[in-house]
Structures are given as C-alpha cells and as structure tokens.
Chain A
Amino acid sequence: MNWTAVASIYRFEMARFFRTITQSFVSPVLSTSLYFVVFGTAIGSRIEQVEGISYGAFIVPGLIMLSVMTQATSNASFGIYFPKFIGTIYELLSAPINFLEIVIGYVGAAATKALFIGVIILVTAFFFVDLTIAHPIAMLAFLVLTCVSFALLGFIIGIWAGNFEQLQLIPLLVITPLVFLGGSFYSITMLPPIWQTITLFNPVVYLISGFRWSFFGASDVPVGLSLLAIAGFTLACMAFIWWIFKTGWRIRQ
C-alpha cells in the first residue's frame, strides 16, 4: 500500500473542505436550526410526544442522518468527479497507486467531512432540545458506517456521472425522498398499516431506526436488522467499486 499517496489525497480533499469552511459549516447549522424552529417548535407544540419522547428530540437522529447521507454522497461524488471534469484525473491514473488507495483517499475524506457535519448538528441540537444518548458507542458506529457507506455510493456516482446534472440526479431523486419518507420526522408506527409495509422496502428506514435506537433505546425495526441493512449496503457499494476497479469502467479506456 502506498499510504503516502492515500494521505496526500485525503489531505488535499480536506484542504478544499477547510478552504470553504464557512460554507461547509454554516449551511448545515443554519438549516438544522430552521428545522428545529419549524418542526420542533411550531409543529412539535401540537404533536407533543412520540413514543414518550418530545418531538423536538425525536427528530434529531433523522435530521443528522438526512444531512450526513446527503453530505457524504455529494462530497464523495464531487471529489472524484471534479478531477474527471477538469482533467487532473490524469495524475491519479499515471501515479504508482492502485484503485483501492484512490477510494480510501476520496471516500475517507468525504466520510470525514460528513462526520464533522453530523457532529456539528448534534451539538447544535443540544441548544434546542433536551437530549440524552442511550448508547453512545452504537450511535457513533451507526454514524461512521453511514458516512462511509454513503461516501462509497457517492464515489460510484462521481465515477458514473458524465456531467453535473447527472451528479445531482441521484442525490436529488433518490436519496432525499428516501430519507424524508424514511421516518426522519415521524415514527413509522404513526402510518396506516399498508404504508408501514411499503416503508419497510425503504433501506433508509433501517438506518434511521437503528440510529434513533442508539439515542432513545426504542426503534421501529429490530436493531440487528438495522445493522444488517447498513452492512449489506456498504458491502454492495464495495462490490460495485471492486467491479469498477476490475473493468476500468468510465476511468481507463
């Protein structure tokens, strides 16, 4: 392994993040605060409690997941798409590095950025609601796994995308709706039975449910199933990336 190269890519990508630090931090903090004001305060005052938890606190895990998934995906997809777009990909292809090292560098950086933002939202949340974390280690594990797996997905999207529209397409058309319909802002037990069944086909439900369990100790679906879902998703992304590596798909002619 060429760890110097991995560190180089990682540092280079993180530098881009810190260069636009205001953008990187202010926007998630601002939008989260707005969510708390609108959902937590305005709507929450009518909903009162969900499963014995104040509504404001109940939406925190979902809000974090929403940001973390979109940030991990868009950071990783942009990270690898940009060199393709401006042509600097030639350097990655002609350097004595393999695809795995490239993936670790880009995905690692994207996951780190998403993790930063997740933590910032969590900290912001403490200012708005009373929050206790029942299983901190599991919480962190869920958070990290989500960052990594969605960064892997983003990496695939970035390799696949041929233009900026395609780059935005999947996050916009797939991830955001799945997250909104994945129980970020409600417990799926609040839905009519038929919708409860349909919802179970949404993979994001398992992530949010598991993540919420790590906060409150209660979940929509069994925690084991949540872990299985995210592990399965991570493995699927890794397998796809392995295939890209083997075939040179969209990278080497």
Chain B
Amino acid sequence: MSSIVSVQNLRKTFEGGFEALKGVNLEIEEGEILALLGPNGAGKTTLISTICGITLGTSGSITVGGHDVVTGYRAARSLIGLVPQEINLEPFETVMNSVRFSRGLFGKPRNDAYLEDVLKKLSLHDKKDARIRTLSGGMKRRVLIAKALSHEPRVLFLDEPTAGVDVELRKDMWDVVAALKADGVTIILTTHYIEEAEAIADRVGVINKGEILLVQDKAALMAQLGKKELHVELTAPVDAIPTSLSKYELAMGPGGRSLVYSYDTKGERTGITTLLNDLSKAGLKLADMETRQSSLEDIFVGLVKETA
C-alpha cells in the first residue's frame, strides 16, 4: 500500500513562539483508518490544520495524493474533507444550502442527487430544509460531516468527532466511519478516547507535546505491549517473595497481600500452571486470583509518562 498523506519533519511555531509541532513524520496509507491519540494540547488539531491548509507549517513538507499542500494546494485540497473540532456552521442557512455551498467551494458541479444521498446516509435527509440553528448538537456534527463529504473527498479528517457526544451517537458515528472505509475513503480521526481508537482504527498514532511517539498497527500494538498480568491474592501477607519463586520475577502487591506475575499471552507457554504449583509448594495459600490485560489506556499512559 502507498501513502496517500505524507508528513515529513513538520514543525510549527506559533507567533508567540510556542512550538506546537516538533518535527512530525507521518505516513498515512490509502484506505486505512488511522486514529491519532493524544491528550488535549498535544498538537492534533494543529497537525490537521496544517495538512488542510488552515495554518502554515514553519518547516517541513506535506503531500496529499503526491501533491505538495503549499505549491500544489488545489490538487491536494481537492482530495481532502475536513470535519473540524468546533461546530462552526452558518446558523441561518438550511442544511442543503450549506452542503451545496461546500461542494461548490471545491469546484464540483452541482449534484443534488449525490448530496441527498450523503444526507440520507447520515440520517439527515429529513432535516435538509431545516435551518441549522434549529438542529441538536449531534445533528450539527453530522452536518459538518455532510459538508466534508459533499465534494467526494478521498481523505477525510475527523477532529474529535465524538467529543461531547452521547454514547448512542458515538456508535452511529463509528458506523458512518466504517461505511466510508468500505467506500475506500482514507480516514484520520483524532480522539482522546482510547476506546474509540481501539474500536475503529486500523492503526493508532500516539501524539504528545507536538511529537508522534509511535504509529503502529492496532493489533500489533496490543500484542506487543498488551502483556497480561496475573494477580494472586494471598490469605496471609508475606514479608518477601520466597527465593524458590525467583525465576517468575514476581512483583509484590501492597502490604505483601498479593503477588503479580506478568506473562505474554502470545508466548508458547504462559507458565501459569507451574507457577501455581510452585506457589503451593512454597506454602502460600491463595485467597483469589484475577488476570488483567493492559489496555491501550495503559500503553498510552505509559508512553506519555516516559516522555514527560
């Protein structure tokens, strides 16, 4: 697969001297869903804005579909649909007029049949003649998506599409994204909800303080960093881990009331059976046990801590 968006060594310093992007490199493959995960202020919106032409990069280069976003802005931007983080809409316009305007801005000939189809897919069709200010927040978010799709983009940027949106609508939004992917649209979405990245992304990029910490296949990321832990609760606390158990590299829980064993779910053998045997040989009695898988959340928190 080839990159449809390529960001090379992108830096962005704002007027006040704040460096929001510190040499970002990112290759986005055609047809994938990439989730950019990062806390508030990480630089997600700045990165998207610079790719889309809303802000100018200080140095580095960006291409979309092989076109430089500065020198070949017409060709590059024609490929891009942008759903901004903020709900920025003309309150007094009707949905259909607003969507038509967006299509026109991109130089596409009028095609109401296509636009009505987009509205139908977003469950907005019955609102097409409604004024935007009369719509609910979730509906407005859909109008933004309809506007971004109005000119048939190849790449869609969704900047925190589900921030402040209720669970129901969030699931709907994920369905919309899945349908777009099926149509071959490349989707980049930013989020600070890990479950969102986990639920719909093919690849996950983690960004913090203007730097991309990693970009990885979601499944590989989970497998590589997704170690499991076995928590063993003891009936009586221990002062130290018995030396006979040293090969298991156990960690001691608070007050010596529990022992924690880390193992790789993908390993040939987990070593759990022998551990349990050795535990009873060492005279330890088990009160309870539980296994935990580290989620993207743990991975994320770990990564962000490392670079803090």
A7: interface (CB < 8 Å): yes
Instruction: Chain A residues near B89: list those with CB within 8 A.
Output: 86, 88
Pick the contact of A252: B54, B75, B78, B80 (CB < 8 A). Answer: B54
Q: How many residues of B contact A (CB 8 A)?
A: 34
With A2-B107, A94-B54, A253-B55 given, is the CB distance from A86 to B75 under 8 Å? no
Quick check: B52 and A94 within 8 Å, CB to CB?
Answer: yes
Q: Which positions 1-34 of chain A face chain B at CB distance < 8 Å?
A: 2, 4-5, 7-9, 11-12, 15-16, 19
With A15-B97, A90-B88 given, is the CB distance from A96 to B104 under 8 Å? no
With A19-B92, A96-B78 given, is the CB distance from A253 to B102 under 8 Å? no
A94 to B144: give the CA distance in the assembly, Å: 14
Q: How many residues of A contact B (CB 8 A)?
A: 26
A88 to B97: give the CA distance in the assembly, Å: 14
Instruction: Chain A residues near B91: list those with CB within 8 A.
Output: 86
Quick check: A253 and B53 within 8 Å, CB to CB?
Answer: no
B14: interface (CB < 8 Å): yes
A232: interface (CB < 8 Å): no
Instruction: Chain B residues near A16: list those with CB within 8 A.
Output: 92
A36 to B145: give the CA distance in the assembly, Å: 52
Instruction: Chain B residues near A4: list those with CB within 8 A.
Output: 104, 107-109
A9 to B107: give the CA distance in the assembly, Å: 11
B261: interface (CB < 8 Å): no
A93: interface (CB < 8 Å): yes
| 6 A-B pairs whose Cβ atoms sit less than 8 Å apart in the complex | A4-B104, A4-B107, A8-B104, A86-B88, A252-B54, A253-B55
* Residues in chain B within 8 A of chain A (CB atoms): 14-15, 52-56, 73-78, 80, 82, 84, 86, 88-92, 97, 100-109, 147
Known pairs A94-B77, A97-B107 / 20 extra A-B pairs, C-beta < 8 Å: A4-B104, A5-B105, A8-B100, A8-B101, A8-B103, A8-B105, A12-B104, A86-B91, A87-B84, A87-B86, A90-B82, A90-B84, A91-B147, A93-B53, A93-B54, A94-B80, A96-B106, A96-B107, A97-B105, A98-B73
